[in-house]
Amino acid sequence: MELSGVSDEKRPTVDLVKDKNGTDQVLLKNPKGASVKISLHGGQVLSWKSDKGDELLFTSAKGNSKPPHPVRGGIPICFPQFGTRGSLEQHGFARNKMWLVEENPPDLPSFDSTDKAYVDLVLKPSDEDTTRIWPHSFEFHLRVSLALDGNLTLISPVPNINSKPFSFSIAYHTYFSISDISEVRVEGLETLDYLDNLFDKERFTEQGDALTFESEIDRVYLNSRDVVAVFDHERKRTFLIKKEGLPDVVVWNPWDKKARALTDLGDEEYKHMLCVDGAAIEKPINLKPGEEWTGKLNLSLVLST
């Protein structure tokens, strides 16, 4: 099924496909050969490939891709809770629910559709389990777009259609594919305060000029700049993470000991992944009835010679 209605190599395409378990997925392609694959289970981006066919997101070879389990990797959406900071299951329920392709998506005035392949998904509280554990009327709209230059953008309008206020936390839990964790540095987090989840969420201040990795890390950097960069020296490429409405940045790598304890992650796979998330965690988003929040995450790749 071709959602775009266009079968032309010179134009972006949007196709509905199925994985080996029969779960619906959406495949975006741009005219230069870059692609993005999104699963309707969790609204999760599973793949982001450059125009050269290089996979830019990490997905574990041991990951369980059969619902209701989220895949270890890609970009799962943590909503309406991040981690165990609340009464819900870890990272909330959005990544475990089936999303729908939205036929009449909300208008996004700032969105330029020129030369973009994109799809609109929506999550609504459609089952008793969801309304029982989180009794709010919400709609989580998600537009995933792939631009001609290969940039991947996620835009999420979340309106409160309830008669009472509610609050939520959110993270686009992005697993980047890297050459080796010891060859990577992150810039844009210098001098920021962070909450260290390895020390019971204690608050510290980042002292280094750039973040490098020699052991397990699990931090929430607070009120970060709108652009963060992940430099992969060996592969001579840089990921630029640009965000709006997402003040915090999560940085996570389990390292060897915790990787061995994770059943859906290979013992050595931690070396080839790094999570750097655009997020709103320390100060949850508060929405009064009729209010709307919009978050935006833009990922781009810069190659160096």
Higher pLDDT, 3 or 143: 143
Higher pLDDT, 173 or 6: 173
Domain positions in the chain are: 13-105+112-303
Check the annotation: does 72 bind a ligand.
Answer: yes
pTM: 0.93
Can you give the pLDDT at residue 122?
97
Fold of 13-105+112-303: Beta-galactosidase; Chain A, domain 5 (2.70.98)
Check the annotation: does 207 bind a ligand.
Answer: no
pLDDT in tens, 184-198: 999 999 999 999 999
Can you give the pLDDT at residue 70?
78
List residues bridging with 289 in a β-sheet: none
pLDDT in tens, 114-125: 999 999 999 988
Question: Which residue do the tokens 């909330």 mark?
Answer: 92
Can you give the pLDDT at residue 63?
72
Give me the mean pLDDT over the 99-104 stretch.
94
Cβ atoms < 10 Å from Cβ of 23: 16
pLDDT in tens, 28-40: 999 999 999 999 9
Q: How many CA atoms lie within 13 A of 162 on its CB side?
A: 19
The DSSP-derived string for 121-148 is EEE---SHHHHHHS---B-EEEEEEE-T
Can you give the pLDDT at residue 49?
98
Check the annotation: does 260 bind a ligand.
Answer: no
Fill in the DSSP letter of residue 266: -
Q: Closest by alpha carbon to 216, among 146, 153, 265?
A: 265
The DSSP-derived string for 207-272 is -SSSB--SS-EEEEE-S--SEEEEEETTTTEEEEEEEES--EEEEEE-HHHHHHH-TTS-TTGGGG
Cβ atoms < 10 Å from Cβ of 98: 16
pLDDT in tens, 212-221: 999 999 999 9
Cβ atoms < 10 Å from Cβ of 103: 7
Percent of the chain with pLDDT over 70: 93
Do 88 and 169 meet the contact criterion of CB atoms below 8 Å apart? no
Is 129 a residue whose pLDDT tops 90? Answer: no
Is 286 a residue whose pLDDT tops 70? Answer: yes
